[in-house]
Structure formats: structure tokens, C-alpha cells
């Protein structure tokens, strides 16, 4: 009996001290009862049984840490955090179970003492280390979520003490350590996310010990090394994301063992070798992304086994061979992207089985042969992009059979035959690229009215027919090229209705008739090419209204009359070609206004007369000047030496005489550029030297005496007039703001199209020496003043805040940088005329923008004038400017201070970016690793710790400005909302500017697309932000994310993770 009592007590102690299941409890109780009631022999047997059971009891101790000790551990950690205002409820006056983000429960089967089982603090603004948290007191924890904060440093190895943890989410913080090897002992883990941090080192093979793991997210870090083959042991894994790292080596075939996988992301690494054929075992896979690696070899035939895959992206690799026909088995495919590889062979006809396909991209490969006609059966196709291959044959006739096609890009292939007439009714088209093929037929019979079309390029084909007036109903068109074809007839006057048009290229056709005067309405036009046609008549005077024009090519036509003075109003022109026409008269003096002419000014092969105007010397950026084959006479102006950028100058076949200007461009020029003139001489090799006169005769001496007398008299008269002028000036000066001439003499001035010192004086007088009443705005680098010169010209003058070290500032780099900035020409960048610099002042002179800054408009009563159409247009303008700076400039230029105050609006609400290059200008000795430049609230978060300025910093600022424009308040406020725990549940309609009614129909789609792009740009991780090229192309394409639904029911969370 005594032994039975001992066993009974031992059982009770075990029940209290160790975790046993409810069934075990019942069994022990039954055995104890039976032992008490049984005979002596049976008691002995039952006692033995009980002892055996005790030995088999689980030896895992109950959580002995009390709530008090757990709370103290959390408070100790809180004390190490910076700005933990969101944890105000964490204090000793209340139970930890009532603290924000803390959940208590019974850790094991609802028994034992209540303990902390969950800590959930996502997007709480927490900053600081994690190693101050005593994990040993939190053995009861089942879930830990600290995602989307600013926690940094190392992930402490002690975290492995959380042996019961089921879910660990540290997404989007600033952890910089290696992944702790000890994590492999946390065998209860089902969900592990360390993504969007700065984790380094290799993925530890010990992760494979987490055999119950369902989700593993390690993307967007700095992980290196190989993909561990041991990951193939995680047989329960359904979601694997290790993209956007620096992993190398081959993909282990053992990953083919993960047969429960739904999503596999290995994209944007440095992986090499082949795609394993074992991936054919992943029959439950739905999303499969391997893009932007260095994978080679063929796409395995076994890929056809992945019948559940909806999205497949193998783009931007080195894959070779043909596309396997087995791909036709993947009947649930919606997105297939194989572009930018080295795939060859023909396109498989089995693709016709992919009836659910929406987007097909295989551009930039080596594919050949005809397209299978079965492609017509994919009726839901919205994107078909096959550019830059070697396809031949006809374009499938029913390519838009389903009426859903938006993007059709078949350019740079060898397609022949007509454009399918069925495209005439494909009203969904937005972007069409068919250039560089061998297409034929009457183009007017196969193109219809496309209300959403914004891009159409049919150039370099063999198309015939005429330009249809109906095409003027492409109201959203921004680019139209149909050059190098056989188009005849006249240019329809109705084309003047294409008011969004930025580029129009009709060159190298057989067009006749006159240039429509209605082109003067195309005020957004920046490229107009009508060269190499049979156009007649005069250049319309209305061209003077095209102030955004950067390239005008009217060469090789039959145009007549004078070159209109109005072209001098096209002050943004960078290239002007009027050669090979029948122009007569003189060269307009107004050509000197085209100070941004840089590439070419060509008026050769005409019938121009008169002298070469000295105003051409203002074209200081011009590289190529061709005046040959005219009837120009007189001397070459000596002021042409100021054209320091000239590399070629051809004045042959004229009637010029006298000396050639002495400058490098002329000295290097071959003699044939000056041939067939009257009597040119001078520095050019091959021309005769300019000889001085010999001994003068009596008549010569008499003439010289007369000249001397006349000169003396003229000089006396000149000085008398000069004294009168000086006296009048001093009298006037008493009534005006004084100007320190010493400062003027010592300063540097470069105001394009103005006389520098006169402008300096005019600005000082117009602003009363920068009186505050003329200040119209201020920014990070200075105040902006409105200056109206005596001539009536309005200027915006930014007076730069001089740094403390100005006395030691090297002036030459400053002036050189300004000269560079004045060469930047873009219709969405505020024009910089030049600068004035002296020991007293440094200021920049810009064109004046009537409506001021976007920020001031948004914060004023006039904000209601900014309807949704204007706001979307402003976003596109800013994106276009940044696209130019980041992708069209070499090297790319970073603005560094994109804010709503640095975006200016003209009278039509067209937006221009200002303060372009000023941050760089004031830190000329710095590199991209520079001191923090920019405005608080718009700065990319990584600048706080990396100090490295990249184009992705501009992308972030663009996202904040766009959010500000859509919300009507500081974009930082919306980012704060998004980072809060309730941010995901906010409806889009509730955050849009409440001063406007909700957008509808097409405008609503554009607003959603712009908001999606803004959210993508304003993400914390720079690697996750898109490039401005991608942003601009997508917001112009109005690619609303799939599945977003109506605006009324749309939540921000629906857009935050959408691809733009």
C-alpha cells in the first residue's frame, strides 16, 4: 500500500510539473483507481505499469516564468527603444495581458498558468536593438510579429529560446546580421519571415531542421552563397521566397522535393546553371519566378507538368534552345514572361491551349519562323509583346479576337503582308509597335478609332495609303511615327486636334500639300519630323507657338518663302533642320534666340541671301552649323568665335569673303567646308593667308587723313554723348536701389540671351536688393523672388543661401556646373537661363511659372481647380522629367530634393521640376556619398543610415509627392497611416482629397494606377522601388492592378502589394 501511495503522489507531482495531455490524465486516474481496488497481485502489476508511464511522461517543464517577470523583460526592452510612443500602455500599473500588442493564454492545451503567447507590434515605429529582450522569460510565446519597424542590429542567437514559437515575422526592419544558426532548433516554426532587411551571410543549412515550416520568406536582403540543398527537406513548405539577394551557384535539384509548394520566388539573384528538371515534380506550384538571374541552358520539358501555375516569369536570363511544346499543358497560365533571353526556334503551336493567358512576353530573343495561327484562340490576351526577334510571315489575322488587346508590340521582326483589318475594331488598344518589319498594304483601311491609344509606331515598313482624318480621334495619343513608308496624300488638318501629342514623325514618305496651320495647337509637341517628303508652301507662322519643340526637321521638301522670324519663339529647340528646300530671303536675326540649339542648325541647299547675322554667335552650345549651298555674302562674323561648342561648320558654295574667325572649330575644319566662295582667307589649312596692305600711295594717304579726321570728330561726339548719358544715369541712380559696382566687377555672369551685368543690375533694382516683399517662395537652398525687368520680362530668381565656407568656395566648379545645367533641356524641367555670382550674391535665373509651386496650390483655396485629370497629368509630367534625368542623361542625374515646393505650374497647370541639380551644385566636392541633401518628409529613409544618394532616393520622394497630390495633405501623413496597424483596412475613397468628388470611369482607373505607383515608390526598401522608366511607362499605360474592383470598395491593402 505504501508503494502505491508513493506512486500516487509521484503521479500528482508529475501532473503539476510536466506537460501531459488530457488523455494521459484520464489514463493515470483510471490506473490509480484500479490499483486501489485490485488484489495484491494486480496491485503489483498496476504499480509497475504506473512506473513505466511515469518514465514515458514528457520531460518538458511548464513555463515557470510569471507574468510579472515576463512584463519586466518587455519593459526592459522597451527602455532600449527610441520613440516607443506606441507602447504607452506598457507600464507596471496594468497587467501585461492588457498591453498593446500583447496576448495572453494558456500555452499548453488550455492548462497551467496564463502567460504571454503572442506579441504583435507591426508598423509601430519601433527603433532600436532586439538583443535587450530576455527571450528566456518568454518560453510560452507562440507568435512574434515585429514587422515593418526600424529595429536594427543583430538578430540575437538567444531567440532560439522561443522553442514553442509557431510564427516569427521580422519583415521590413534594419537587421544587419547573419541568420542565427540556432534558429534551426525552433522546430515548432510554421511561418518565418526575415524579408526586407539587410541580412548578410549565407542561408544556414540548419534551417532545414524546421521540418514543419510552411512559409519561408528571406527576400530582399544581402544574402550570399549558394541555395542550400538541405532546403529540399522542408516537405511541408508551401511558400518559398529568397528573391532579391546575392545568391550564386546553381539551383539545387533537391528543391524539386518540395511537392507542396504553391509559390517559389528565386528572382533577382546571381544564380547560374540550368533550371532543374526536378521542378517538374512541383505540381501544386502556382507562382514561379526565376527572372533576372544568369540561368542558362534550355527550359526543361518537365515544366509542362506544372498545371496549376498561373504566373511564370523566367525573363532576363541566358536561357537557350526552344520554348518546349509542353508549355501548352499549363492551361491555367495567365502571365508568361520569357523575354530577354537567348531562346531560339519557332513558337510552339501548343500555346493555343493557354486559353486563360492574359500577358505573353517573349521580346528580345532569337525566336524565328511564323507565329502559329492558333494564337488567335487566346481571346483574353491583353499584352502581346514579341519585339526584337526574327519572326516571319503574316501577323495572325484575329489577334484581337477577344476584344481585350491593349499592348501589341511586334517591332523589329520580319513580318510581312498587311496589318490585319480586324485591328480596326480593336478599340482597347493602347500601345502599338509594328516598326522595322516588312508590312505592306493600305494603312488607312486597317486602323480604326482607338480612344485609349497613346503610342503608335509604324515606321520603317512598306505601308501605303493616306493619313486618315479619323486618326485625329486618337485623343490620348502622345507619340505617332509612320516614317520611312510609302504614305501619300496630304497631312490632314484635323491632326491639329491631337493636343496631347509629344512626337510626330511623318518623315521619308511621299506626302504632298502644305503643312497644316492647325499644328500650332500642338503645344506639347517636342519632336516634329516632316523631312524627306514633297511638301510645298511656307512654314506656318503658327509654329512660333510650339514653345516645347526640341527637334524640328523640315528638310528635303519643296518649301518656299522666308524662314519665319516666329521660329525664334521656339526657344527650346535643340535641333533645327531646314536644308534642301527653296527658302529665300535672309537668315532671321531671331535665330539668335534659340540658345538651346545644340545638335544641328542646317539651312544648307536653299536660296538664302544677305549676310550671316552676328546673332548666331549666341548659339554657344551648337555643335554642327551648315550654311552651305546658298547665296550668302559678306564676311564671316568674328563673333562666331564665341561658339565654343562647334565641331563642324560648313559655309561652302556661297559668296563670302574676308577672314575666317580664329577659333579651334575653324582651325580644325577642312578647306572644303569653305570652298567655292569669293575670297575667304585665314587660319584654315588650305585657304590663303589674309595679307596686310603694302606701302600706301598718295591717294591712300589722302584717304587715311580723311578717315583720321572723321574718326576724331566721331570720337568727340561719342564722348560728349557718353558724359550726358553718365550724368543722366547718376541722376536716375539716386532714385533707385544702389548697386555696388565693385561686386559687379568681381562677379561672374552668364545669362543666356541677356547681357549679364545689365540683368544683375535689373534684378537688384526689380527686387529692391531682394526685399522680402518680392519673395514668392522658399526651399531648401534659398528664397525665390519675382523680378520684373524694365523690359517687362518676368523672371524667377533663386537667391542661394551661401554656406559658411563661401569664402573658400572655388568659383570655377560652380560656374562649370551651371553651364552644364543650362544645357539640360526638357519640357518638364524649369528652364535655367543662367546665373549671377559675386562675393555679395549668388543667384540663379529661371523662367517664371505663373501659378507658382504645387505645394502652395495644394494648400490654398485654388486647390479645387486641380481636378483629378489635372492631378494625374501633373504626376505624369513629374515622372517624365525624372525619367529623363535618370534614363536619358549620361551619367544619370539625381535631383535629390523632389518636393511639392520644387514642382512649379504654368498657367495651364503643366508641371515642371525646379531646383534641378542645385543639391549637387552646392556640394561640388562631394560624390554620391554626400551629406544629407533634401527636405524632411521627402527624404528616402535609407539616407538616415547609408548617406548614399541614388536614383531610388528620387523615386521615394516622387512617391511622397504623388501621395500628397492625391491626398491633398502631406504624403508623409498617408505613409504614417499605412504603417499603422489599421492602415491596411483604410478605403481608398477615404484618403483621396475630400475637396474633390470621387473620380469615375477612366479617370478613376488612372487615379488608381497613379496611387499604386506612388505606394510602390514610397516603400522603405530601395531595392523594391521601381525605376522611373517603369513608373512612367505604367502610369501612362493606365495599367490598373487586376482584381482591384470598384473605387468604393477598394482598400489601400489591395494596392500596396500590387505590381505596377
Q: Catalytic positions, please?
A: 897
Q: Using alpha carbons, select from 323, 320, 349, 346 the residue that is nearest to residue 336.
A: 323
Q: Using alpha carbons, select from 582, 581, 554 the residue that is nearest to residue 567.
A: 554
Q: Where are the beta strands (DSSP E) in 26-166?
A: 102-105, 115-120, 127-129, 143-145, 150-153
Query: Chain-centre distance of CA 288, in angstroms?
Result: 26
Enclosing H/E stretch for 70:
helix 67-78
Dist. CA 418–CA 415, nearest whole Å: 9
Query: Chain-centre distance of CA 576, in angstroms?
Result: 30
Q: Which residue has the cell 514553442?
A: 164
Q: Using alpha carbons, select from 1020, 1018, 1017 the residue that is nearest to residue 1029.
A: 1017
Dist. CA 252–CA 115, nearest whole Å: 42
Dist. CA 19–CA 1001, nearest whole Å: 61
DSSP character for 1051? Answer: B
Dist. CA 779–CA 799, nearest whole Å: 10
Dist. CA 886–CA 903, nearest whole Å: 17
Over its C-alpha atoms, the chain yields an Rg (Å, rounded) of: 38
Q: Provide the 10 A C-beta neighbour count for residue 608.
A: 22
Cβ-contact 98, 89 below 8 angstroms:
yes
Q: Which long-range contacts (CB under 8 A, 24 or more apart) does 993-998 make?
A: 993/863, 993/966, 993/967, 993/968, 994/968, 995/863, 995/864, 995/968, 996/864, 996/867, 996/868, 998/1047, 998/1048
CA distances (Å), origin 454, targets 416, 431, 432, 1029: 24, 6, 9, 16
Dist. CA 969–CA 157, nearest whole Å: 43
Q: Using alpha carbons, select from 263, 252, 142 the residue that is nearest to residue 205.
A: 252
> Which residue blocks in 926-1000 are alpha helix, DSSP H?
951-967, 971-979, 988-991
CB neighbour list of residue 468: distance below 8 Å, 6 or more residues apart: 444, 447, 492
CA distances (Å), origin 226, targets 204, 259, 316: 10, 21, 20
Residue ranges at the known binding site for ATP = 799
Dist. CA 1056–CA 1034, nearest whole Å: 16
Enclosing H/E stretch for 852:
strand 852-853
Dist. CA 435–CA 414, nearest whole Å: 10
CA distances (Å), origin 545, targets 520, 534, 848: 6, 24, 17
Q: Is 1054 helix (H, G, I), strand (E, B) or coil?
A: helix
Dist. CA 295–CA 956, nearest whole Å: 31
Q: Using alpha carbons, select from 456, 418, 465 the residue that is nearest to residue 434.
A: 456
Amino acid at each position: 500500500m505504501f508503494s502505491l501511495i508513493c506512486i500516487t503522489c509521484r503521479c500528482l507531482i508529475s501532473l503539476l510539473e510536466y506537460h501531459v495531455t488530457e488523455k494521459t490524465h484520464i489514463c493515470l486516474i483510471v490506473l490509480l483507481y484500479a490499483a486501489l481496488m485490485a488484489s495484491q497481485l494486480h496491485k503489483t502489476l498496476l504499480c509497475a505499469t504506473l512506473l513505466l508511464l511515469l518514465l514515458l511522461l514528457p520531460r518538458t517543464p511548464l513555463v515557470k516564468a510569471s507574468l510579472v517577470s515576463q512584463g519586466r523583460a518587455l519593459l526592459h526592452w522597451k527602455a532600449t527603444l527610441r520613440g516607443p510612443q506606441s507602447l504607452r500602455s506598457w507600464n507596471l500599473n496594468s497587467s501585461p495581458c492588457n498591453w498593446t500588442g500583447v496576448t495572453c493564454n494558456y500555452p499548453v492545451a488550455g492548462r497551467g498558468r496564463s502567460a504571454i503567447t503572442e506579441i504583435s507590434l507591426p508598423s509601430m515605429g519601433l527603433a532600436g536593438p532586439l538583443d535587450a529582450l530576455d527571450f528566456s522569460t518568454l518560453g510560452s510565446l507562440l507568435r512574434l510579429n515585429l514587422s515593418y519597424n526600424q529595429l536594427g542590429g543583430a538578430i540575437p542567437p538567444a531567440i532560439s529560446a522561443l522553442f514553442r514559437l509557431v510564427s516569427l515575422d521580422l519583415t521590413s526592419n534594419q537587421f544587419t546580421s547573419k541568420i542565427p544558426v540556432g534558429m534551426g532548433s525552433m522546430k515548432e516554426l510554421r511561418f518565418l519571415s526575415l524579408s526586407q532587411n539587410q541580412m548578410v551571410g549565407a542561408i544556414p543549412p540548419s534551417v532545414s531542421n524546421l521540418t514543419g515550416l510552411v512559409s519561408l520568406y528571406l527576400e530582399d536582403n544581402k544574402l550570399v552563397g549558394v541555395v542550400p540543398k538541405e532546403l529540399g527537406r522542408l516537405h511541408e513548405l508551401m511558400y518559398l521566397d529568397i528573391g532579391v539577394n546575392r545568391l550564386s551557384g546553381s539551383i539545387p535539384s533537391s528543391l524539386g522535393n518540395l511537392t507542396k509548394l504553391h509559390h517559389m520566388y528565386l528572382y533577382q539573384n546571381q544564380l547560374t546553371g540550368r533550371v532543374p528538371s526536378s521542378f517538374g515534380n512541383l505540381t501544386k506550384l502556382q507562382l514561379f519566378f526565376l527572372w533576372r538571374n544568369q540561368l542558362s541552358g534550355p527550359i526543361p520539358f518537365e515544366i509542362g507538368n506544372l498545371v496549376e501555375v498561373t504566373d511564370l516569369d523566367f525573363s532576363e536570363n541566358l536561357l537557350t534552345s526552344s520554348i518546349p511544346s509542353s508549355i501548352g499543358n499549363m492551361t491555367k497560365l495567365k502571365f508568361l514572361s520569357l523575354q530577354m533571353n537567348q531562346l531560339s526556334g519557332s513558337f510552339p503551336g501548343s500555346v493555343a491551349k493557354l486559353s486563360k493567358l492574359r500577358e505573353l512576353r517573349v521580346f528580345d530573343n532569337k525566336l524565328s519562323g511564323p507565329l502559329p495561327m492558333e494564337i488567335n484562340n487566346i481571346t483574353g490576351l491583353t499584352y502581346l509583346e514579341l519585339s526584337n526577334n526574327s519572326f516571319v510571315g503574316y501577323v495572325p489575322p484575329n489577334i484581337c479576337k477577344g476584344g481585350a488587346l491593349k499592348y501589341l508590340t511586334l517591332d523589329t521582326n520580319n513580318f510581312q503582308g498587311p496589318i490585319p483589318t480586324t485591328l480596326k475594331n480593336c478599340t482597347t488598344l493602347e500601345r502599338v509597335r509594328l516598326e522595322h518589319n516588312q508590312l505592306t498594304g493600305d494603312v488607312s483601311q486597317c486602323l480604326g478609332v482607338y480612344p485609349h491609344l497613346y503610342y503608335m509606331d509604324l515606321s520603317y515598313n512598306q505601308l501605303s495609303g493616306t493619313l486618315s482624318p479619323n486618326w485625329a480621334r486618337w485623343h490620348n495619343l502622345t507619340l505617332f511615327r509612320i516614317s520611312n513608308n510609302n504614305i501619300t496624300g496630304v497631312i490632314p488638318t484635323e491632326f491639329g486636334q491631337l493636343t496631347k501629342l509629344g512626337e510626330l514623325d511623318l518623315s521619308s514618305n511621299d506626302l504632298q500639300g502644305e503643312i497644316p496651320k492647325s499644328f500650332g495647337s500642338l503645344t506639347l509637341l517636342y519632336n516634329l519630323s516632316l523631312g524627306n517628303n514633297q511638301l510645298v508652301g511656307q512654314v506656318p507662322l503658327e509654329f512660333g507657338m510650339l514653345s516645347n519643340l526640341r527637334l524640328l526637321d523640315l528638310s528635303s521638301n519643296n518649301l518656299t518663302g522666308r524662314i519665319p522670324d516666329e521660329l525664334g519663339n521656339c526657344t527650346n529647340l535643340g535641333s533645327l533642320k531646314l536644308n534642301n528646300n527653296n527658302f529665300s530671303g535672309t537668315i532671321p536675326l531671331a535665330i539668335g534666340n534659340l540658345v538651346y540649339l545644340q545638335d544641328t542648325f542646317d539651312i544648307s541647299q536653299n536660296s538664302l541671301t544677305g549676310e550671316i547675322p552676328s546673332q548666331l554667335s549666341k548659339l554657344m552650345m551648337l555643335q554642327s552649323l551648315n550654311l552651305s549651298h546658298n547665296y550668302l555674302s559678306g564676311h564671316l562674323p568674328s563673333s562666331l568665335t564665341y561658339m565654343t561648342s562647334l565641331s563642324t561648320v560648313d559655309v561652302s558654295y556661297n559668296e563670302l569673303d574676308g577672314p575666317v574667325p580664329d577659333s579651334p572649330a575653324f582651325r580644325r575644319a577642312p578647306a572644303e567646308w569653305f570652298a567655292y566662295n569669293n575670297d575667304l582667307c585665314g587660319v584654315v589649312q588650305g585657304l590663303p593667308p589674309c595679307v596686310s596692305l603694302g606701302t600706301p600711295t598718295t591717294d591712300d594717304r589722302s584717304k587715311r587723313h580723311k578717315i583720321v579726321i572723321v574718326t576724331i570728330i566721331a570720337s568727340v561726339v561719342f564722348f560728349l554723348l557718353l558724359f550726358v548719358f553718365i550724368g543722366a544715369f547718376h541722376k536716375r541712380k539716386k532714385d533707385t536701389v544702389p548697386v555696388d559696382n565693385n561686386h559687379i566687377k568681381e562677379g561672374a555672369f552668364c545669362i543666356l540671351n541677356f547681357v549679364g551685368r545689365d540683368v544683375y543690375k535689373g534684378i537688384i533694382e526689380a527686387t529692391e536688393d531682394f526685399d522680402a516683399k518680392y519673395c514668392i517662395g522658399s526651399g531648401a537652398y534659398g528664397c525665390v523672388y519675382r523680378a520684373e525687368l524694365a523690359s517687362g520680362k518676368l523672371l524667377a530668381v533663386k537667391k542661394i543661401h551661401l554656406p559658411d565656407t563661401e569664402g573658400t568656395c572655388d568659383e570655377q566648379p560652380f560656374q562649370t556646373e551651371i553651364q552644364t545645367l543650362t544645357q539640360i533641356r526638357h519640357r518638364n524641367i524649369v528652364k535655367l537661363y543662367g546665373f549671377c555670382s559675386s562675393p555679395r550674391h549668388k543667384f540663379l535665373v529661371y523662367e517664371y511659372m505663373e501659378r507658382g509651386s504645387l505645394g502652395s496650390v495644394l494648400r490654398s483655396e485654388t486647390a479645387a481647380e486641380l481636378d483629378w485629370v489635372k492631378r494625374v497629368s501633373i504626376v505624369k509630367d513629374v515622372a517624365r522629367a525624372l525619367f529623363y534625368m535618370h534614363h536619358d542623361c549620361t551619367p544619370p542625374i539625381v535631383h535629390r530634393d523632389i518636393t511639392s515646393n520644387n514642382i512649379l505650374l504654368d498657367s495651364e497647370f503643366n508641371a515642371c521640376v525646379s531646383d534641378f541639380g542645385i543639391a549637387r551644385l552646392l556640394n561640388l566636392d562631394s560624390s554620391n556619398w554626400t551629406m544629407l541633401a533634401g527636405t524632411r518628409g521627402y527624404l528616402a529613409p535609407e539616407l538616415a543610415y547609408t548617406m548614399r544618394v541614388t536614383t531610388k532616393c528620387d523615386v521615394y520622394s516622387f512617391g511622397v509627392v504623388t501621395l500628397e497630390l492625391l491626398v491633398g495633405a502631406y504624403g508623409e501623413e498617408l505613409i504614417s497611416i499605412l504603417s499603422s496597424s489599421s492602415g491596411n483596412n483604410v478605403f481608398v475613397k477615404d484618403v483621396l482629397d475630400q475637396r474633390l468628388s470621387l473620380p469615375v470611369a477612366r479617370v478613376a482607373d488612372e487615379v488608381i494606377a497613379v496611387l499604386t505607383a506612388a505606394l510602390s515608390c514610397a516603400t522603405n526598401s530601395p531595392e523594391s522601388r521601381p525605376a522611373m522608366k517603369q513608373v512612367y511607362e505604367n502610369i501612362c499605360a493606365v495599367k490598373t492592378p487586376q482584381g482591384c474592383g470598384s473605387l468604393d470598395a477598394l482598400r489601400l491593402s489591395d494596392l500596396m502589394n500590387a505590381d505596377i
